[in-house]
């Protein structure tokens, strides 16, 4: 039976407390509303002073951090596009997707090789290795059997004002449970003191269109509030009988109350996505694999024969993913004394994903998957800041409780007339996760040029697995269920860190940080989709991270050069194999080495240019496949050695209008693959994985119409051409064991192509 939990009561208490007991709700240091400290991520639009102070805090931080501005988001994200595409402005970051670029598509994000988000193939030891925050609140599912966070959860980019990116675990005052390779904070637009509104409309290739708006109430009795939301849709770029459309909408609301000695805020975010994902494409022809089906008459199916972007009809393969997320949170920051403040965040998140897939390309015993994953999370983070003459001391911690249910029915109407109400296979698992931390951190600055930041975090994780599969069997059916036994596990670890930043010359800083962090393995490591009771991990996954280099800022110039060495240990790769109805658990360690460079020049107007370059090497010192022998020093699939990015442009002002033109170029070297036959990394290079993509952007923002329309402040238009040279490339791929296209395809490479040339236009107005 289902494990009893107080989560429903706790959820009700959270919602009540958000409105009835605001004095108990405090803003977390990791995302305080008004601070400028780098650990207090803010989206304040008080331009010059706050921006300058934030830039100074970035330079003096021992961490490798980048703030992606609102202007960069506008330059990089196409109309209706995903906010995560703007992450390419940060060095060490690679963003890869398979959709037409709108916000409903799912993307994979890597920072220095460590990833979060959609991953086509297994073989990466970290599918949940980056913490993704919404206004400082964590969105990751710590036990997700699939990817711990999906980019489609935040589909409307116009909601966001900027993005804060931290490489590595970072300092403990803003480190979360999945902050292994880094932390990404998506910071929404803040409520303003003056009333206003904005409207954005966009459209373009692949029948893509979008609309969004943001309404500002201004200050009413000291309360500043905003309401915003939008919709985006694309018909998809795939060719053939099926194009794989998707669509999404989101809504956001926030209110802030400033008072003597502090401020209170509360926020609400909702998103809903519906995505139809196409089947992967054989890179080369396979005997018997045709457009008519496996072993049927028809043209051989591959990128070279049926077209680079071809996909099979829905009669052969159909997949629909529907997801939604609710997030509600509240904060209060109070100055307790002249040098002492306290802040805390209380939050509740509800996540839902429904995966429905029918694979009739060739006969399967189970051809239909009906999977539902639901997550309920409640958390609270409390932090104190004691500001002394030579010390900036922070201490506190957080507690989070998550319940994750994974319900799966597998069936085939052609086999025993099975259905969702009479499945061949049934699984229902409850995973309970509790994380509690306490931290102490001191920024010691004996002289103005030197900052030494030691930190210590005490972590306790509690994971409980409950197999509810027998209770989930529909009446009158006798499906197969796996008997993995219930288990209860607890881990306690110390995660130290030490950072240093020294100002060598005005504007030139040397920095370095060593940090550790720990996270729990995915749910399969505790029993999800296992045939018998598993040997659960004795220790959580750990990372030992070393990052250091130079930061330089002088006038219109900014640069950052850094190196990284990160060792990941005790990682568990869990892969659910529908054809076998089991998961396989591989135990691995990984090393990520590399160098990142950021160099940019530019002011508000005139010429601007920048480059973001990465050289990296990621490999497995040891890779132990389930039931196999260890492999030593295998290269990590999907991780390029080189990522090179360059952009240049010009902004000028004439006739009450600011014009801009921008050209960008991004190159990534080829990557290796993962082999589902051997269940091992494979040295084979993925065809088409090396790419060089050029994008062009034109924009104009004018005040020329302000006098004609009462209340109008600005009108803007833009034109973006993505993949200007129409390069063909593959975003992801793997070596198949034959599960998708039949036995003849065993050993073939299946791929997902990136999008071809696309043209988008937008119109915006501010009131």
Please report, for the domain that includes residue 751, its CATH number: 2.40.170.20
Alpha helices, DSSP H, located in 371-415: none
Domain presence at residue 572? yes
Domain presence at residue 40? yes
Using CA atoms, how far apart are residues 438 and 418, in angstroms rounded to an integer?
51
Residue 623: CB atoms within 10 A of its CB come to 26
Domain presence at residue 42? yes
| The pLDDT of residue 581 | 52
Domain presence at residue 261? yes
Domain presence at residue 1? no
| The pLDDT of residue 17 | 35
- CA separation (Å) from 417 to 116, 311, 316, 480, 504? 39, 29, 19, 15, 74
> What residues in the chain have per-residue pLDDT under 70?
1-49, 145-146, 574-584
Task: Kindly report, residue by residue over 688-704, the tens digit of the pLDDT.
Answer: 999 999 999 999 999 98
DSSP letter at 20 equals H
| The pLDDT of residue 625 | 80
Radius of gyration of the chain (CA): 25
Domain presence at residue 2? no
Strands in 69-177 per DSSP E: 93-97, 107-111, 114-117, 130-134, 137-138, 160-167
Nearest C-alpha neighbor of 401 from the set 11, 4, 1, 665: 11
Give the 3-state DSSP-derived string for 554-603, with helices as H, strands as E and coil as C: ECCEEEEEEEEEEEEEEEEEEEEECCCCEEEEEEEEEEEEEEEEEEEECC
Is the distance from CB of 760 to CB of 723 less than 8 angstroms? no
Using CA atoms, how far apart are residues 49 and 36, in angstroms rounded to an integer?
10
Is the distance from CB of 466 to CB of 545 less than 8 angstroms? no
DSSP letter at 767 equals -
Contacts of 443 (CB under 8 A, 6+ apart): 391, 392, 393, 394, 451, 452, 453
The domain of 34 spans 7-766
Task: Kindly report, residue by residue over 742-766, the tens digit of the pLDDT.
Answer: 999 999 999 999 999 999 999 999 9
Q: pTM higher than 0.85, yes or no?
A: yes
| The pLDDT of residue 44 | 37
Is the distance from CB of 392 to CB of 171 less than 8 angstroms? no
Domain presence at residue 620? yes
Domain presence at residue 312? yes
| The pLDDT of residue 624 | 82
Q: Is the dihedral of CA 578, 583, 587, 589 positive or negative?
A: positive
Nearest C-alpha neighbor of 214 from the set 192, 235, 234: 192
Using CA atoms, how far apart are residues 554 and 55, in angstroms rounded to an integer?
12
Q: How many domains does the chain have?
A: 1
Is the distance from CB of 760 to CB of 208 less than 8 angstroms? yes
């Amino acid at each position: 039976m289902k494990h009893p939990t107080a989560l429903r009561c706790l959820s009700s208490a959270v919602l009540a407390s958000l409105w009835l007991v605001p004095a108990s709700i405090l803003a977390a240091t990791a995302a305080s509303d008004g601070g400028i400290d780098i650990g207090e991520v803010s989206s304040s639009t008080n331009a010059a002073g706050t921006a300058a102070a934030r830039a100074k805090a970035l330079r003096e931080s021992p961490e490798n951090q980048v703030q992606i501005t609102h202007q960069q988001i506008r330059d990089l994200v196409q109309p209706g596009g995903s906010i995560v595409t703007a992450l390419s402005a940060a060095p060490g970051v690679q963003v890869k997707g398979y959709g037409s670029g709108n916000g409903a598509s799912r993307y994979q994000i890597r920072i220095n090789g460590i990833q979060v988000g959609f991953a086509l193939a297994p073989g990466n030891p970290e599918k949940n290795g980056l913490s993704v925050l919404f206004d400082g609140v964590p969105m990751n599912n710590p036990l997700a059997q699939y990817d711990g966070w999906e980019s489609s959860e935040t589909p409307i980019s116009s909601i966001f004002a900027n993005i804060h990116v931290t490489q590595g675990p970072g300092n403990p005052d803003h480190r979360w449970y999945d902050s292994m390779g880094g932390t990404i904070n998506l910071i929404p637009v803040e409520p303003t003191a003056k009333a206003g509104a904005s409207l954005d409309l966009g459209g373009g290739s692949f029948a893509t269109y979008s609309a969004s708006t943001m309404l500002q109430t201004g200050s009413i009795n000291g309360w500043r509030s905003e309401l915003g939301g939008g919709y985006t849709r694309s018909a998809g770029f795939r060719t053939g009988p099926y194009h794989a459309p998707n669509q999404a909408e989101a809504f956001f609301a926030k209110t802030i109350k400033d008072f003597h000695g502090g401020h209170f805020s509360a926020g609400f975010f909702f998103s809903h996505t519906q995505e139809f994902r196409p089947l992967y494409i054989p890179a080369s022809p396979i005997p018997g694999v045709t457009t008519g089906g496996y072993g049927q008459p028809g043209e051989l199916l591959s990128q070279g024969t049926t077209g680079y972007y071809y996909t099979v009809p829905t009669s052969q393969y159909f997949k629909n993913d529907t997801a939604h997320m609710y997030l509600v949170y509240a904060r209060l920051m109070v100055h307790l004394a002249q040098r002492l403040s306290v802040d805390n965040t209380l939050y509740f998140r509800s996540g839902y994903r429904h995966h429905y897939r029918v694979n009739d390309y060739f006969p399967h015993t189970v051809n239909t998957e009906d999977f539902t994953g639901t997550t309920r999370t409640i958390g609270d983070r409390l932090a104190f800041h004691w500001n002394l003459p030579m010390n900036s001391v922070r201490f506190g911690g957080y507690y989070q409780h998550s319940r994750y249910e994974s319900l799966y029915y597998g069936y085939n109407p052609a086999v025993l007339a099975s259905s969702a109400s009479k499945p061949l296979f049934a699984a229902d698992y409850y995973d309970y996760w509790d994380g509690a931390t306490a931290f102490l951190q001191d920024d010691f600055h004996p002289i103005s040029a030197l900052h030494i930041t030691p930190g210590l975090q005490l972590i306790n994780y509690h994971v409980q697995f409950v197999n509810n599969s027998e209770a989930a069997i529909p009446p009158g059916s006798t499906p197969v269920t796996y008997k993995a036994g219930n288990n209860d596990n607890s881990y306690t670890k110390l995660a130290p860190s030490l950072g240093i930043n020294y100002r060598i010359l005005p504007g030139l800083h040397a920095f370095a940080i060593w940090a550790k962090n720990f996270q729990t393995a995915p749910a399969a490591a505790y029993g999800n989709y296992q045939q018998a009771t598993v040997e659960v991990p004795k220790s959580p996954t750990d990372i030992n991270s070393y990052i250091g280099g130079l930061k330089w800022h002088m006038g219109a110039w900014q640069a950052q050069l850094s190196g990284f060495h990160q060792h990941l240990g005790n990682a568990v790769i869990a892969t659910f194999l529908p054809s076998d109805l089991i998961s396989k658990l591989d135990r691995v360690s990984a090393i990520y080495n590399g160098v990142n460079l950021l160099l940019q020049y530019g002011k508000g107007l005139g010429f601007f240019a920048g480059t973001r370059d990465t050289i990296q090497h990621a490999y497995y010192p040891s890779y132990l496949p389930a039931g196999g022998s260890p492999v030593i020093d295998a290269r990590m699939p999907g991780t390029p050695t080189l990522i090179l990015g360059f952009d240049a442009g010009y902004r000028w002002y004439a006739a009450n209008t600011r014009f801009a033109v921008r050209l960008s170029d991004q190159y990534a070297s080829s990557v290796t693959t993962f082999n589902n036959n051997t269940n091992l990394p494979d040295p084979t290079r993925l065809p088409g994985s090396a790419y060089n993509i050029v994008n062009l952007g034109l924009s104009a923002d004018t005040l020329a119409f302000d006098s004609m329309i009462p209340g109008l402040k600005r009108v803007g238009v833009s034109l973006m051409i993505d993949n200007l040279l129409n390069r063909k490339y593959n975003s992801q791929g793997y070596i198949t064991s034959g599960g998708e296209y039949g036995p003849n395809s065993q050993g073939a490479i299946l791929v997902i192509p990136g999008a071809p040339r696309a043209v988008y236009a937008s119109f915006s107005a501010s009131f």
